[in-house]
Amino acid sequence: MAQDPDEDTRAELSVLLGAATGGDTDALAEITALFSGRLAFGTAGLRGELGPGPLRMNRVLVTQAAAGLGQFLLDTGRTASVVIGYDGRVNSDVFARDSAEVLAGLGIDVTLLPSALPTPVLAFAVRHLDAGAGVMVTASHNPPRDNGYKVYLGQDDDGSQIVPPVDATIAEAIDAIAAGSITDLARSSEYAVAGPSLVQAYVEATAALVDFPEIVPDDQPKVVYTAMHGVGWATARAVFEHAGFRIPDVVPEQIEPDGAFPTVPFPNPEEPGAMDLAIARGIAVGADLVIANDPDADRLALAIPSVGADGARSFRQLSGNEVGWLLGWRAAERATMDGPTSDLDESSLDPGSAVEPGVVGSGDGADAATGLPDGSSTAVLAASIVSSPALRRVAERYGLGYRDTLTGFKWVSRVPGLVFGYEEALGYLVDPEVVRDKDGISAALDLLSLATELAARGRTIADRLDEFAATFGAFASGQVATRVDDLARIDTIMAALRATPPTTLGGVGVLAVTDFLDGVEGFPPNDILRWDLEGDGRVIVRPSGTEPKVKVYLDTVAESSAKAEALVARLADAVRPLVS
């Protein structure tokens, strides 16, 4: 309390402390919950609920994190410059200014972004300004009361998020700061605030992904866009306009930043109901596409028109994998220009094949560091291991390299030779030369470009998905997630699955069990289980890295989409009791 500059969190602690000393056991339990540890700083930085104490996100914790990051830069001889961004969540701007003052107080050159902006703008700015590091204050798509602190590194790290062992080194520096009081830290207001030219540079670089010098407005698909109460709209609009696209219709209730997220319980486009307002708007205006960014605009969701059995027009939200297939196929075409360069080798592409999971290249002799044949300079497609195996088939068909990575875009973005990468959780990297992180705005632009090209030929996104199945195979994917109140429950579930793995799922035999904790070539030990099934199916189980959930990822491939989807449904029914 003595070192906390925030009146609200000091007052909250004061009330709790008074009640606890008066014998209120509930207040004592709450204090224990706030002070029985620290929010761990890791590869995802910090993320947690707002509130007092070291197990919550607050000005004390953020100040310690900023000072620890600054000390890390100074101690390791990295470039002593940091660019800081923030979104529209509660206290994001406050945490950003605290960080700027503390880092400047250490003598570090600091640039603060001029307003609440998307995470991709911050990731771009790290490279554009050649900064030593970047900080983005955001909890992305987490519940409204959460906030977070994401760290990027420049120079040799090329503006990607931190990975081990850097996270542990920064955590040690933060712990050393936390041993004292933040009132002893020097602060300075001598930091720069970036001008509009930085945002414009992002807009121009992103818009350059597509080239439509002459677009007839009537030829463009009609689009509805929602920012989901986040910070994406102003930047997305500028990118769309600069690239020559018509300005989308918007969901007025969700277009302005609002940290309370009043129309959605979880501001995550993946959550059931989160896109209801956007889809209703799409139906009302006769849209061809409904596009959603999450609150910090690093993720993208897409819904396309569908017609029910009763003839009523609605929208179907595509899965993250389906969007990844479309964008990955488009990236492969861009990378090769002349189209497919090889016939599919079905035996080498099955999801349950013996190809090493860490690196999947274009044949024998693949370089373990790049996923490419030795001596090759071929471009690479990449996806996290929980994403659909379909992208591997695209890479093989076009003679490109392919790489599986651990979950987290910090791994995807670092793949050498990358031209496209994605995660099934709505994260897409379509322009690695501009941003080395997932970017929901450039992904939206690429989809608009694709939809416009298809419309010019009298075709739709739905037609393109059918074409994908005909070209690469009928893939289907699904997910089962269990949210827990007690994090210890996650460990219990994973331990039970390891002790007694299933031998069949939904009537399908389990051919092999792979435990990534035991160490799998190409990956460090990780809390992931993979079950390879008869008929080229696959199930992967892991704890979420950002939410209190156990997630199960289901992938199948069959002779038709209907059969593949039916198998996914059976697998989901079989898996659900195992993780409940």
Residue 338 has what pLDDT?
A: 52
Name the pLDDT band for 56 (thresholds 50, 70, 90).
very high
Range picked from 345-349, 370-374, 414-418 for highest mean pLDDT: 414-418
Q: Kindly state the percentage of the chain with pLDDT values over 90.
A: 83
Instruction: Identify the pLDDT of residue 211.
Output: 77
Q: Selecting from 3.40.50.720, 3.40.30.10, 3.20.20.70, 3.30.310.50, what CATH number does the domain 474-579 have? A: 3.30.310.50
pLDDT for position 296: 98
Q: Minimum mean pLDDT among 41-45, 55-59, 175-179, 259-263: which range?
A: 41-45
Residue 161's pLDDT is 96
Lowest mean pLDDT among 65-79, 90-104, 366-380, 462-476: 366-380
Query: Mean per-residue pLDDT for 489-510?
Result: 94
Q: Is the pLDDT of residue 398 over 50?
A: yes
Q: Which burial class, exposed, middle or buried, applies to 251 when counting CB atoms under 10 A from its CB (0-12, 13-18, 19+)? A: buried
Residue 33 clears pLDDT 90, i.e. is over it: yes
Summary mean pLDDT of the chain = 90
Dist CA 349 CA 207 (whole Å): 34
What is the predicted pLDDT for the residue at 440?
A: 98
Question: Cα–Cα distance between 121 and 7 in angstroms, integer?
Answer: 31
Q: Per-residue pLDDT for 349 more than 70? A: no
pLDDT at 495: 95
Measured CA to CA, the distance from residue 374 to residue 404 in angstroms comes to 18
Q: Supply 328's token pair.
A: 């990955």
Q: Is pLDDT larger for residue 341 or for residue 432?
A: 432
Q: Domain 40-194 class? A: alpha beta
Q: Does the pLDDT of residue 68 top 60, yes or no?
A: yes
What integer pLDDT is reported at residue 373 of this predicted model? 37
pLDDT of amino acid 425:
92
Instruction: Report d(CA 360, CA 370) in Å as an integer.
Output: 9
pLDDT at 547: 76
Averaged over 33-44, what is the pLDDT? 93
- pLDDT of 478 > 90? The answer is yes
The model's confidence at residue 217, banded by pLDDT at 50, 70 and 90, is low
Whole-number Å distance between alpha carbons of 322 and 334: 19
Would you say residue 353 has pLDDT above 80? no
Residue 121 has pLDDT above 80, yes or no: yes
pLDDT at 438 exceeding the cut of 50 = yes
Q: Of the ranges 83-92, 258-267, 346-355, which one carries the lowest mean pLDDT score?
A: 346-355
pLDDT at 372 over 70: no
pLDDT score of 363 more than 50: no
- Catalytic: which of 92, 140, 319, 384? 140
Whole-number pLDDT of residue 525: 87
Helix (H/G/I), strand (E/B), else coil: 292: strand
Q: How confident is the model at residue 535 (pLDDT cuts 50, 70, 90)?
A: confident
CB of 541 closer than 8 Å to CB of 497: yes
pTM reported for the whole predicted model: 0.90
Do the domains spanning 40-194 and 474-579 agree at the CATH topology level?
Answer: no
**Contact assessment for residue 89 and residue 122, using Cβ atoms and an 8 Å cutoff:** no
- Is the pLDDT score of 391 beyond 60? yes
Instruction: Report yes or no: 285 and 302 within 8 Å, Cβ to Cβ.
Output: no
- DSSP code of 180? S
Question: Minimum mean pLDDT among 117-126, 219-228, 512-521: which range?
Answer: 512-521
Active-site residue, 140 included: yes
Average the pLDDT over 197-214 and give the result: 90
Task: Provide the residue type at 58 as one letter.
Answer: N
More confident of the two residues 344 and 292: 292
Neighbouring CB atoms inside 10 A of 351's CB total 21
Domain edges within the chain: 40-194, 474-579
Residue count of the chain, please give it.
580
